[in-house]
């Protein structure tokens, strides 16, 4: 095993553990009973689960192609797993938009927030997003395999690519490919094409852990709630 393979595999293992563990911690914190079962927390659980799924399905493909020099099972299997990870990335982005709208309503329309984002409605929206993602996975996988558009890993330059006859590349991949063109070195392609995106999903878990733990501490400290209620009562009294 040469140094490039050893370093690349070590990075894949490290980031895999980081990405899965941080997002698993988010799910564990939100399901252990201390956190309120709000629509926002439900969305956080979904985001953490999607982050972990993307890492679990995406990163091992690179690891085994680097370690073995070829797909672990077949090019078809790699393509299906790649499409699974890619479409759940898009699903994650939809979840981010939904989460942002959730926070927007909570801040600017607090009195109507429960109408817009009650738990049942949030779960229905999540189910719709997941159904769309699965339909797209099946549709894209069938089209790619039918056209023999298999994702292949270039061991020399450390990046994934599609054969030239495959024109149906998603906009997400086009952005990644354009970023990789800035430099021809294998390190740059490996970092911008694979590692950077996986690290983002790992740090997404870290950010959620920090935010959720702060929220739980505020909920567990009743003095904060008393202070806020006291301030509101003073303001309402002064208005009258």
| Sequence spans of domains, the chain | 3-239
Cα–Cα distance, 201 to 70 (Å, whole number): 26
Query: Per-residue pLDDT tens for 55-113?
Result: 888 788 888 888 888 877 888 888 888 778 877 887 888 888 888 888 888 888 888 88
Between 129 and 230, the higher pLDDT residue: 129
Cα–Cα distance, 54 to 26 (Å, whole number): 15
Q: Which residues have CB under 8 Å from 210's CB, separation 6+? A: none
Q: What is the pLDDT of residue 224?
A: 47
Q: What is the pLDDT of residue 236?
A: 43
Is the pLDDT reported for residue 19 higher than 80? Answer: yes
The mean pLDDT of 126-137, rounded to a whole number, is 82
Out of 1.20.58, 1.20.1070, 1.10.3280, 1.20.120, the CATH code matching 3-239 is 1.20.1070
Between 1 and 162, the higher pLDDT residue: 162
Between 222 and 141, the higher pLDDT residue: 141
Is the pLDDT reported for residue 27 higher than 80? Answer: yes
Burial class (CB in 10 A: 0-12, 13-18, 19+), 152: middle
- 50 touches 22 (CB < 8 A): no
Query: Per-residue pLDDT tens for 176-228?
Result: 666 766 767 777 777 777 777 778 777 777 777 777 766 666 656 655 444 44
Query: Which of 1-10, 23-32, 174-183 is the least confident region?
Result: 174-183
Residue 161: phi, psi to the nearest 5?
-150, 165
Q: What is the pLDDT of residue 169?
A: 57
Q: What is the pLDDT of residue 232?
A: 40
Sign, Cα dihedral of 83, 86, 92, 96? negative
Mean pLDDT, the chain, integer: 76
């Amino acid at each position: 095993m040469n140094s490039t393979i050893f370093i690349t595999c070590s990075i894949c293992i490290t980031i895999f553990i980081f990405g899965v563990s941080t997002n698993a911690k988010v799910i564990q914190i939100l399901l252990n009973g201390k956190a309120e079962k709000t629509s926002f927390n439900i969305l956080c659980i979904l985001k953490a689960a999607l982050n972990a799924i993307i890492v679990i399905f995406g990163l091992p493909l690179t690891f085994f192609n680097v370690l073995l020099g070829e797909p672990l099972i077949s090019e078809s299997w790699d393509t299906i797993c790649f499409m699974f990870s890619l479409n759940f990335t898009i699903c994650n982005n939809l979840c981010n938009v939904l989460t942002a709208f959730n926070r927007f309503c909570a801040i600017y329309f607090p009195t109507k927030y429960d109408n817009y984002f009650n738990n049942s409605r949030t779960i229905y929206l999540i189910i719709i997003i997941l159904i769309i993602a699965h339909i797209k996975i099946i549709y894209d996988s069938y089209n790619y395999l039918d056209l023999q558009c298999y994702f292949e890993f270039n061991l020399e330059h450390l990046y994934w690519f599609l054969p030239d006859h495959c024109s149906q590349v998603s906009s997400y991949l086009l952005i990644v490919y354009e970023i990789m063109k800035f430099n021809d070195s294998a390190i740059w392609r490996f970092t911008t094409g694979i590692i950077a995106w996986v690290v983002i999903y790992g740090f997404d878990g870290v950010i959620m852990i920090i935010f959720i733990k702060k929220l739980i501490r505020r909920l567990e400290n009743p003095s904060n709630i008393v202070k806020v209620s006291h301030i509101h009562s003073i303001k309402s009294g002064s208005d009258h």
